[in-house]
Amino acid sequence: MSERTVVIAGAGIAGLACAWWLTRHGWRAVIAERAAHLRDGGYMMGLSGPGLLTARRMDLVPALRAVEREIGENIYRDRRGREVMRIRYRELLKDLDWITLRRTDLVQVLHEAVRDHAEIRLATTVAHCAQDLGGVDITLSDGSQLRAALLIGADGVRSALRAQVFGADDLPLSTLGYRYAAYDTEDDTGMARDFVSYAAPGHQVEYHGLGGGRKAALHVWRSHEHGWVEAPQRLGLLRELSRGTHAEVGRQLAMLAQDTPIVMDDLALVEVPCWHRGRILLAGDAAHSLSLISGQGAGMALAGAYVLAQELGRLPLEEALAAHERRLRPVINSLQQRSRKLAPVYVPTSAFAFGLRNTALRLLPRLILKRYFLSGLKSEMEAAAALG
């Protein structure tokens, strides 16, 4: 039967969250994931505000706490190795409702919660779709054909389904002028739970100890170029960039094998005038990427799935999709504007701005810094209240 079947392109956070909520409301869900396996690696993230509230509604908090990566101390150094700032997060964030984990750990927790309730087809994409008033006819890349009431594109910033249904892939991308890269590497420095940052004008590198002899690395840098970087070129690009930062960054990159998996892309916002067309809906980054600068992309993917299920439970399908967008879009617009403002502060590009920012960090009283985090959490909770 098609009237309660949903096909979802993408088994990331948005796709799995949509499947979780819709199957709990009586839908049959089929997820088509392009990759042959769920993603490994990925950068560290904080789950708070609307995302954590939604995870609590899903009874996932115990599982998320089990994979939480506690931050010990963040040591912030400039390119000469001088200490700019030292933060003890356990003290700073003790009043905040916050879970720090890797993005892929969140995907794994969602997968465990969904896999017995939805059909997940790996190494599979939506090859073709055509809709009419009664449903969507879908052909998958494995040759199977499905009839569904709803098709959801949750296949990321560079969504193939968005390009297929809504237009050219590059039109909705608004690049912030930065790129990022994330990968795992051997921890030969005994970081444990510590978090070390190296910064230079236009380039910031963060290392987070994972335990077990491994650490996660994240690079964010100013880039006048944008667009997809092919996998074989990524390590060479990072090594070239490292010449302008602390020698330790170059040493760490020199230890990486050429085939080390590196996630790399632009810091970009996705802005489309409408998230749905008939019975086809875009969700998560495919609809409204916030970039990792916002700290709320994963959380809003979770919250958006919750709002979608609420509206589908009370309205006819196309009215529900419109109501979902009306509730969610004001929050997304606000967070995207925040991303635009934060990017130049997070990675200052000029030597003057970089020095000014470092001086401010050295002199910034801990109380003011704590208030900054608390004000950010307040805005997140206001967003959660707006979503209901």
Statement: residue 46 has pLDDT above 60: yes
**Is residue 105 one of the residues assigned to a domain?**
yes
Mean pLDDT of the chain: 87
Give the whole-angstrom CA distance, residue 187 versus residue 180. 21
Give the whole-angstrom CA distance, residue 230 versus residue 232. 6
Instruction: Return all residues near 276 (Cβ < 8 A) that are at least 6 apart.
Output: 282, 318, 321, 322, 324, 325
pLDDT attached to residue 306: 96
pLDDT attached to residue 343: 82
**Is residue 107 one of the residues assigned to a domain?**
yes
* Span 49-63, average pLDDT: 94
Buried b (16+ CB within 10 A) or exposed e, 202-237: bbbbbbbbbeeeebbbbbbbbbeebeebeeeebbeb
Give the whole-angstrom CA distance, residue 268 versus residue 62. 32
* Span 355-384, average pLDDT: 61
> Measured between alpha carbons, how far apart are the two ends of the chain, in Å?
32
DSSP string, 57-75: HTT-HHHHHHT-----EEE
**Is residue 23 one of the residues assigned to a domain?**
yes
pLDDT attached to residue 1: 47
pLDDT attached to residue 69: 83
The pair of three-digit structure tokens given for residue 270, joined into one six-digit string: 């996705």
Beta strands in 53-172 (DSSP E): 73-78, 83-88, 99-102, 119-122, 126-132, 135-140, 145-148, 150-153
pLDDT attached to residue 190: 67
**Is residue 247 one of the residues assigned to a domain?**
no
pLDDT attached to residue 293: 80
Count of all residues that appear for the chain in the document:
388
- SS3 labels along 305-319: HHHHHHHHCCCCHHH
Statement: residue 161 has pLDDT above 90: yes
**Segments forming the whole domain that contains residue 30:** 4-69+97-173+269-344+376-387
The torsion region of residue 202 among left (phi > 0), alpha (psi -120 to 50) and beta comes to left
**Is residue 260 one of the residues assigned to a domain?**
no
pLDDT attached to residue 380: 58
CATH number at residue 124: 3.50.50.60
> Are the C-beta atoms of residues 114 and 23 closer than 8 Å to each other?
yes
- Count each helix (H run) and each strand (E run) in the chain, helices first: 13, 18
Per-residue pLDDT band for 341 (boundaries 50, 70, 90) equals confident
**For the segment 87-132, what is each residue's pLDDT rounded down to a tens digit?**
776 666 666 778 888 899 999 999 999 999 999 999 999 999 999 9
- The count of structural domains within the chain is 1
Statement: residue 192 has pLDDT above 60: no
**Is residue 198 one of the residues assigned to a domain?**
no
> Are the C-beta atoms of residues 103 and 14 closer than 8 Å to each other?
no
**For the segment 263-305, what is each residue's pLDDT rounded down to a tens digit?**
999 999 999 999 999 999 999 999 999 888 877 889 999 999 9
Upper half-sphere CA count for residue 118 (Cβ side, 13 Å): 35
Give the whole-angstrom CA distance, residue 35 versus residue 48. 28
Q: Which of 264-268, 300-304, 341-345, 374-378 has the lowest mean pLDDT?
A: 374-378
**Is residue 356 one of the residues assigned to a domain?**
no
Closest CA to 153 of 45, 332, 289: 289
pLDDT attached to residue 339: 86
Lateral strand order in the sheet of 126-132: 126-132, 135-140, 145-148
